[in-house]
A and B are shown apart, each in its own frame.
Chain A
Amino acid sequence: MTTAMKAKAAPRTGVDWFLLLIKSVMFFFIATGVLLFIFQQIDPGNPIASRLNDDATGLTADQFEGLVIAGLSQGAMYGLIALGYSMVYGVLGFINFAHGEVFMVGAMTGMITSNKLHEAGAWESNFVPSLLFIVLLSIVVSTLTAVVMERVAYRPLRGSPRLIPLITSIGVSFFIQNVSVVLLGPGAKSYPALPDWLSKKRDIWFISIEGTRLLVVLVAAVSMVGLWYLVERTKTGKAMRAVAEDKEIASLMGINVNRIIVTTFAVGGAMAGVAGILWGIMFRSVIHTTGFLPGIKAFSAAVVGGIGNLNGAMAGGLSLGSAEAIAPLVILEPWGVSGVSQLRDAVAFSVLILVLLVKPTGLFGERLSSEDRG
Chain B
Amino acid sequence: MTDTTVLAPARGVLDQDWRKIVNYGLLLALAEVFIALANMPVGLDDFILIEPILSLGYVSLLWLPLLLGYSIGTEKVLEGVTSHAKGAREVVAGACVGLIGGGGVSGLVLLLDNFDLRDPLVNWSPQLLALLAFDNGVGYGVGVWLAIGGGLGLLGGSMHLIAPLARRVVSTMVLAVVGVAVLETILSDIAEDLFLEWLADWIYFIRGGVSLHGAATVAVVAGAYAVWGSKAVKGAKASYQALEGVERKQANKVSIAVVVAATILLPLVLGKITNELLANVGLFLLLALGLNIVIGLAGILDLGYVAFFAVGGYTTAILTSPNRGDSWPTWIPQVWWVVALMLVIVLAGLTGLFIGAPVIRMRGDYLAIVTLGFGEIIRLLFLSDWLGGFTGGAQGVTNVPGVQVFGLANVRGTDPRAVFYLVAFFCAIAIYVSWRLEKSRIGRAWMAVREDESVAEAMGINTVNVKLLAFVVGAVLASFSGAIFAAKVGSVFPTSFIILVSIVILIVVIVGGMGNIAGVVAGSVVLIGVLGGPKQPGLLQEFSEFKLLIYGALLVWMMLKRPEGLIPNVRRTRELHQDEFLQDAWLKGQIDEGDETGDGGEVAPA
- C-alpha gap A373/B579 in the complex (Å): 25
B45 at the interface (CB under 8 A from A): no
Tell me which residues from 319 to 349 in chain A have a Cβ below 8 Å from any Cβ of chain B: 337-340, 342-343, 345-346, 349
Q: Determine, out of A130-138, A179-187, A256-264, the stretch whose residues face the partner at the interface.
A: A179-187
A157 at the interface (CB under 8 A from B): yes
Residues of A with C-beta under 8 A to B376: 345-346, 349
Residues of A with C-beta under 8 A to B560: 153, 156-157, 168
Contact B369 A296 (CB under 8 A): yes
A13 at the interface (CB under 8 A from B): yes
Contact B358 A353 (CB under 8 A): yes
Binary CB contact string for chain A from 75 to 98 against chain B (1 if under 8 A, 0 otherwise)? 000000000000000000011000
Tell me which residues from 547 to 605 in chain B have a Cβ below 8 Å from any Cβ of chain A: 548-549, 551-556, 558-560, 563, 575-576
Q: Determine, out of B137-145, B278-286, B329-337, B377-385, the stretch whose residues face the partner at the interface.
A: B377-385
Binary CB contact string for chain A from 337 to 369 against chain B (1 if under 8 A, 0 otherwise)? 111101101100110110011001000000000
Residues of A with C-beta under 8 A to B364: 162-163, 166
A303 at the interface (CB under 8 A from B): yes
Q: Which residue of A lies closest to B366 (CB)?
A: A356
Contact A167 B380 (CB under 8 A): no
- C-alpha gap A84/B22 in the complex (Å): 32
B122 at the interface (CB under 8 A from A): yes
Contact A167 B358 (CB under 8 A): no
- C-alpha gap A227/B476 in the complex (Å): 47
- C-alpha gap A94/B464 in the complex (Å): 23
Residues of A with C-beta under 8 A to B559: 153, 157, 164, 167-168, 171
Q: Determine, out of B399-407, B503-511, B520-528, the stretch whose residues face the partner at the interface.
A: B503-511
B468 at the interface (CB under 8 A from A): yes
Contact B380 A346 (CB under 8 A): yes
- C-alpha gap A353/B560 in the complex (Å): 31
Interface footprint category on A: 35 or more
Q: Choose one: B303, B372, B549, B563; the contact of A164 (CB below 8 Å).
A: B563
Residues of A with C-beta under 8 A to B39: 182
Binary CB contact string for chain A from 277 to 300 against chain B (1 if under 8 A, 0 otherwise)? 000000000000000000010011
Interface majority SS on A: helix, strand, loop or mixed?
A: helix
Residues of A with C-beta under 8 A to B369: 95, 296, 299-300, 303, 352
Contact A338 B549 (CB under 8 A): no
Residues of B with C-beta under 8 A to A182: 37-39, 123, 545-546, 549
Residues of A with C-beta under 8 A to B358: 19, 22, 353, 356-357
B111 at the interface (CB under 8 A from A): no
A64 at the interface (CB under 8 A from B): no
A29 at the interface (CB under 8 A from B): no
- C-alpha gap A114/B554 in the complex (Å): 34
Residues of A with C-beta under 8 A to B37: 182-183
- C-alpha gap A161/B552 in the complex (Å): 20
Contact B301 A163 (CB under 8 A): yes
A143 at the interface (CB under 8 A from B): no
Also in contact, A303 and B365, with CB within 8 A (given A170-B503, A346-B380): no
Q: Choose one: B120, B353, B555; the contact of A174 (CB below 8 Å).
A: B555
B360 at the interface (CB under 8 A from A): yes
B431 at the interface (CB under 8 A from A): no
CB pairs A–B below 8 angstroms (28 shown): A15-B464, A15-B468, A95-B365, A95-B368, A116-B119, A153-B556, A156-B560, A157-B559, A160-B576, A164-B559, A164-B563, A168-B556, A170-B506, A171-B554, A171-B558, A173-B552, A174-B555, A177-B552, A183-B37, A296-B369, A300-B373, A303-B369, A342-B384, A342-B386, A350-B377, A356-B362, A356-B366, A360-B362
